[in-house]
Structure 1
């Protein structure tokens, strides 16, 4: 289409173009600026028509899709821990994907994603990569099923890393003593200092199989006679956690006036735990290992049937509970068999 000639009006120039029976105009300081605007506007209008007719895909970079998903879906996730993880993915998106972030979602191929997967596996573990693949696949599914801008999801066409064998780490009594010692805490004492509360939480987790986040969010109003009521847990459902006599004694040691049992932020707690355990050479010990230890003890000592145990621990999948968190040693199995 021929660009019309701009017309001078006073100190400025104006130009008018027609496209599909509609008129568009602008005013600029020079005739050349008017011509440039008209050329770009016509290209834009033609491209929009081609998009609407299905002849052309709209410009939609991976970065744009990531932003849209986070604004409309990710930041509203019901789980606080999931929201925090998704926000971390959102904030680190550019560093994680580099040039791929600037690529159109229509041009991203399974080969691109396979190359990204292989590079990522050199930086982090298999579980992290599996979780990230699941997250970014959900973003492309959102584009496909909610925005209707994609016909297929390339993330579903790549091979996932093999899931590593689940941890079966047990905690030896000598390791418990070592953790208490490095945190300067004596069993039976009222926790006062930040490191004391970390030690207290460690002991409480061994008695209840509660997650670190659940213990940190636990409030005094959640404590009842014989049990703790967790109004919101990792899977989004409330849960009742029965209290052993040892757990009840630990709760009696909490005497501060605050609302939460542990008067400490999650980050401060985590840093204290990591620093102190490394200082005594327990690098391979995770706080979450207390959950493995506690569940195995519950089976061994209390002979709890698996359906009751699942209610206490909050596992919706029995196979995960049995195959991942119940970690008996040879003596435990022999005792259970003869018992």
Structure 2
């Protein structure tokens, strides 16, 4: 089969397989992206989750022998939560980002890429193929941009005319020489809304992100969070959508297309307090099918504690006091101390003082004393 016919049939099959966009590009090295990644590395802006060296992340020839093309795919996901439950006093809720709603997109896109691989191998039995989704070496955004899936927005997301930036990306390197598609013209213009609204200033400039300040990254880290970020996280337990929800190109993009990504409102916006005493097994059974579960329950629980402090939720006092008193994880005790200091009631102060007399870990003692100072300052303000 000639490559022109195969490419045409691949486009048609991709639609049948539930792939919303497919594009083709060369397997040439991504030289400009390599320079950008080097600048990110030198500036200390990387997340640490990146896979592979700079060369491996930008040169397909290091990942597949004699590559000719890369096939890029995009699958849209929903941005609106139907029948969203509302948090209220005594029943506060957290929020998983939209990219974590429904079934883990890594699994869904790998299945779709596997279908493409089978389709190609049936027609070209000797074809060499290598697929990846998000956690592979190649930079998905760079591949998608060059393959005409969308343009690279100032919010560091690929923005498509059809689905906005609410798309998952994947790619396949192959030794088949497909005709490359043309990139899409940048559509951001002089808009800077995403840069202006970023809560922590993580978007340094259009298309450049300091991952170390990005809330989406921070919610996935383990251990304690620097205090400057705790209030900004609000009730987010995983991820952040702010730079996407503000984007004019996402207005009206609901993308209720794939059943696999249909969100369960109770999981997309879970009650915060029940998260605090979940076992590993309970967490896996409840959230294990979501991409937001990949780091386990510890970061989610820590973020839930910060969120309860953010709400100054008094119903959480018994559980926060128990964590401060009994939890074996120092950063969880520290987070609880912080939240108790934000709540600031007499019961919270009593729990903090009892904990101060027993606590041995210096990092937790620092949090307890800072919380007690916060309560003292609040009392002073009231009297003044």
Q: TM-score, normalization: structure 2?
A: 0.26
Q: By percentage of residues, which structure has more helix?
A: 1
Q: Quick one: higher RCO (CA 8 Å, sep 6+), 1 or 2?
A: 2
Q: TM-score, normalization: structure 1?
A: 0.28
Of the two, which has the highest radius of gyration? 1
